Amino acid sequence: MFAMNRNLLRRAPSSTTVAVALGVAATVLAPCLAAPPKAAKKAQSQQQRQRAGLPAAVTADPPSTIMEVAAVDRSGRSAVHQAAAKIDSLLASSWKEHGVEASVPLKDEQFLRRIYLDLGGRIPTYEEATRFLASKAETKRADLIDNLLESPDYVSHFYNYWADILRLLERPQKTLFFEPYLWYVKDSIRTNKPFDGWAHEMLTADGRVWDNPAVGFQLRDAGMPLPYVDNTVRVLLGTQIGCAQCHDHPFDDWTQHQFYELAAFTSGTQMRGRGKNKNMMSRQMGQAGARELIQEAKQKLDRPTAFVQFVAANTTAVSFAEAPLKLPHDYQYEDAEPLAVVSPKVLWGEIPSGARDADGREQFASWVISRDNRQFARTIANRMWKKVMGVGLVEPVDDFQPGNPPSNPELLEHLTDEMLRLDFDLREFVRILVSTGTYQRRAVVYDPASGTPFRFTGPALRRMTAEQIWDSILTLVAHNAWAVQRPTAAEVAAAVNLDLANPSFDAAYGMFERFAKEYTPPRRMRELQQTVGYRGQLLVRASEMPAPLPLGHFLRQFGQSDRETIEGARTVATVPQILTMFNGQITHSMLEKGSVIYDTVVAHTPQEAIDVIFLSVLSHKPSGEDRKLARDEIMTADTPAAGYGNLIWALLNTREFIFIQ
């Protein structure tokens, strides 16, 4: 303990304020000496990390440009407000019809916190909060909305949103290296790619994942062509036809025959140089070169598996050549014979005229995203509505069916029209929704188990997502939360792309070793510890973290998806979450010297400190009573510094912190 204090003192600047506040550090940061036995082996290396405190990359100033985000058109503001007013008027008549009262309008500090969380995925910093609250500008809410929509925070937050829907993993299968696809999703949000075009790109992409990262969508279900169709229809058309894969849907209209008719469009999607176009593909993909390398590896290496997978990843590519789809051999219905070839047919509507001569996969994609296929626009409009308001007009968002009607059909059709009018500009759509008077009302407590539909008299009260909690805590800790970003497709390509036309085992093996060091998930995790590690935690934005994270990670504890099921994230309360909030490393990171909140408190007078802490953690000043409670705590604690620590800890452990009001 003594050595620890000396060490901290040596690192500290010598101003009086800091020396006093360092008392905080010495008291608050004393390491837990009673390390559990299982940690004993690792104690030494852990000690070294602990002594180092917050990593330099995290305490440094953030880079001036984190990423270039597509600009929001400020001139479009009056159109946004008109569109928002239309939505408000539709809701107002629904409230009247159902005899419910609108929730009260939000105060500035409540709006501030919610808009940061809903658009940026994190709470505002002390500085951001005071700046907004002090502003007298009439347009300050609209200004903040627009600023947030073109910030890296927006990209990060919406990446997390899509990662849950698209089941984004770095290694969904051993030969699928998905970093380029994950980057592509993030980049599509950064450039605000229109959603219809984005979907079309993913449904029809060809090639290897680092050459054309959009192929990741089709590769996610590689080797499972029928589940691929099920998942695609669920995600993009909000319809569950999965049951019909094995038998006629028990209560919907979908028959097994219809499922196969739809699947017939994409039958013929190849993931390797297999199938009809094998010879052409095989040449293109350098199958011969790959075979040579693999043979040599099996002779030269004791454990060739990882290397073989590395080579196989180089020959994994999506291509399409139509192939007939047959009914299963145990097909049990009378409308067709088992093993009969099925001709492709869409579930509703028709193939757009422009695509009728195209191949099956293109026909399917064109049908899905067609403006005439309102279900596509309706599904994404309902998803975005839920993203902003907390509850969908149809719930769950991927189960549109006659037995599950929307709670406000008129509003849903209006939002569908809006989505079409905006040409699938999702960000503009969200901009309108958060500009509504309804969004800017106090949150309403809603229990879906009550059996009554939600009337949207304000957004629903929600617990923060796991990523919002993580990124909010990070906001209190890291001056630079962007010290690491996920690798780009080009970076991965440079590290993985083998020259299979001129195969050389030594060159390939060298590349494999470098790639394994930098990109194999556990090794990458270890590598990242060097730059942004703090007591085993990586202090970077949730969006830039490896995926999936281990089950015990903070984000998984708070319900981040394992990315195996579509929208697998949960917000259920559990005991280990609370234990982590009490004693976890991440709670302690913010009490370290050099953390944002530490530095902010230290930069203010003791009289200001209580307000600073409240504004930093809860985004508002304390009430008179709370200020008195806080002052009493600081006066009676062993040192004022320990009192600050107790106050920060207490605010972090309120329901107000993790729920979005």
Partner 1 sequence: MIGTMGISSVDRLLSRRALCGHLARTALGVTVLDTLVGSAVGRAAPAVPVGDVSVIFLMMRGAMSHLDTFDPKPGREEQGETKAIQTKTPGVLFGEHVPKLAGMSDRLAVIRAMTTETGAHEQGTYLMRTSYSQLNSIVHPSMGSWTLHVQGKRSRDLPGYVLVGNGNEHPGAGFLDASLTPVPVADPKLGLENTTHPAYLSEKQFRRRLVLADRIDRDFKQLYGGPHIAAYDQMYKDATRLLGSVDLESFDISKEPEAIRSRYGDTTFGQGCLLARRLVEAGVRCVEVELGKWDMHQDIFEALPDNVGTLDTGMAALLDDLAERGLLKNTLVVLATEFGRTPEINKNAGRDHHPAVFSCVLAGAGIKGGVVHGASDERGFHPDRDGVTVADFNTTIAVAAGLPHQKEFSAPNGRPFKIGGGGSPIANVLA
Best CA proximity match to 325, nearest among 279, 357, 353, 361: 361
- Of 179-187, 409-417, 426-434, 583-591: span binding partner 1 (CB under 8 A): 583-591
Is 635 a residue that touches partner 1 (CB under 8 A)? no
Within 192-347, strands assigned E span 269-270, 319-320, 325-326, 341-342
User: Considering the rule CB under 8 A, would residue 568 count as an interface residue with partner 1?
Assistant: yes
Site for partner 1 in 270-299 (CB under 8 A): none
Q: Which stretch binds partner 1 (CB under 8 A): 22-30, 147-155, 334-342, 378-386?
A: 22-30
Phi/psi of residue 637, each to 5°?
A: -65, 160
Q: Which of 570, 604, 621, 631 binds partner 1 (CB under 8 A)?
A: 570
96 forms part of the interface with partner 1 (CB under 8 A): no
Report d(CA 205, CA 376) in Å as an integer.
Answer: 19
Q: Which stretch binds partner 1 (CB under 8 A): 25-33, 53-61, 310-318, 514-522?
A: 25-33
580 binds partner 1 (CB under 8 A): yes
445 is a site residue for partner 1 (CB under 8 A): yes
Q: Pick between residue 96 and residue 655 the one whose CB is nearest to partner 1.
A: 655
592-631 residues near partner 1, rule: CB under 8 A: 622-623, 626, 629-630
Taking contact as CB under 8 A, which single stretch among the options 119-127, 187-195, 406-414, 565-573 is the one that binds partner 1? 565-573
**220 vs 427, beta carbon nearer partner 1:** 220
Q: Kindly identify the residues of this chain, within the stretch 369-398, that bind partner 1 according to CB under 8 A.
A: 395-396
- With CB under 8 A as the rule, give the number of residues binding partner 1: 96
Indicate the residue type of 452: T
The answer to whether the beta carbons of residues 106 and 114 sit under 8 Å apart is yes
Which region, left, alpha or beta, applies to residue 324 given φ > 0 means left and ψ of -120 to 50 means alpha? Answer: beta
> With binding defined as CB under 8 A, does residue 303 bind partner 1?
no
The minimum distance between CB 129 and partner 1, in angstroms, equals 17
- Shortest distance, position 67 Cβ to partner 1, whole Å: 30
- Measured CA to CA, the distance from residue 609 to residue 645 in angstroms comes to 11
**404 touches partner 1 by CB under 8 A:** yes
* Shortest distance (Å) from residue 259 CB to partner 1: 12
Q: Is position 301 an interface residue for partner 1 (rule: CB under 8 A)? A: no
Stretch that binds partner 1, among 123-131, 191-199, 374-382, 547-555 (CB under 8 A): 547-555
Cis? peptide before 396, omega within 30° of 0: yes
Query: Taking CB under 8 A as the rule, does residue 138 contact partner 1?
Result: no
Classify residue 121 as left (phi > 0), alpha (psi -120 to 50) or beta: left
- Answer for which of 106, 443, 473, 528 binds partner 1 (CB under 8 A) is 443
The reply on whether position 97 binds partner 1 by CB under 8 A is no
Pseudo-torsion of CA 47, 53, 57, 60, nearest 10°? -170
C-alpha 161: how far from chain center: 4
Tell me: does residue 569 bind partner 1 (CB under 8 A): yes
Helix (H, G, I), strand (E, B) or coil at 202: helix
Alpha-carbon distances, residue 631 vs 617, 647, 653 (angstroms): 17, 9, 18
Q: Does 100 bind partner 1 (CB under 8 A)?
A: no
Which segment (13-21, 67-75, 310-318, 581-589) binds partner 1 by CB under 8 A? 581-589
Residue 175 Cβ, how far from partner 1 at the closest point, in Å? 10
Is the separation of the CB atoms in 368 and 203 below 8 Å?
yes
Question: Please, what is the angle between helix 426-435 and helix 77-98, to 10°?
Answer: 60
Under the criterion CB under 8 A, does residue 250 sit at the interface with partner 1?
A: yes
Give strand pairing partners of 326: 341
CB of 487 to partner 1, least distance (A): 27
CB of 209 to partner 1, least distance (A): 18
Q: Hey, CA dihedral for 426, 429, 430, 431, is it positive or negative?
A: positive
Helix axes 505-519, 489-496, angle to 10 degrees: 140
x/- track of binding to partner 1 for residues 213-242 (CB under 8 A): ----------xx-----x-----------x
Whole-Å CA distances, 243 to 346, 494, 563, 566, 583: 17, 42, 21, 16, 45
Helices vs strands, H then E, count in the chain = 33, 8
Nearer to partner 1, 77 or 556 (CB): 556
CB 297 within 8 A of CB 289: no
Read out DSSP for 56-85?
HHHHSPPPS-S---PPP-GGGHHHHHHHHH
Binds partner 1 by CB under 8 A, chosen from 27, 130, 135, 485: 27
Binding mask 37-66 for partner 1 (x = CB under 8 A): xx-x--xx--xx--x---------------
Binding residue (CB under 8 A) for partner 1 from 9, 19, 35, 341: 35
- Binds partner 1 (CB under 8 A): choice among 8, 23, 31, 130: 31
What residues numbered 446-465 form the site for partner 1, per CB under 8 A? 447-451, 461, 463
What are the strands, taking DSSP E only, across 441-553? 462-463, 533-534, 537-538
Using rule CB under 8 A, residue 306 touches partner 1: no
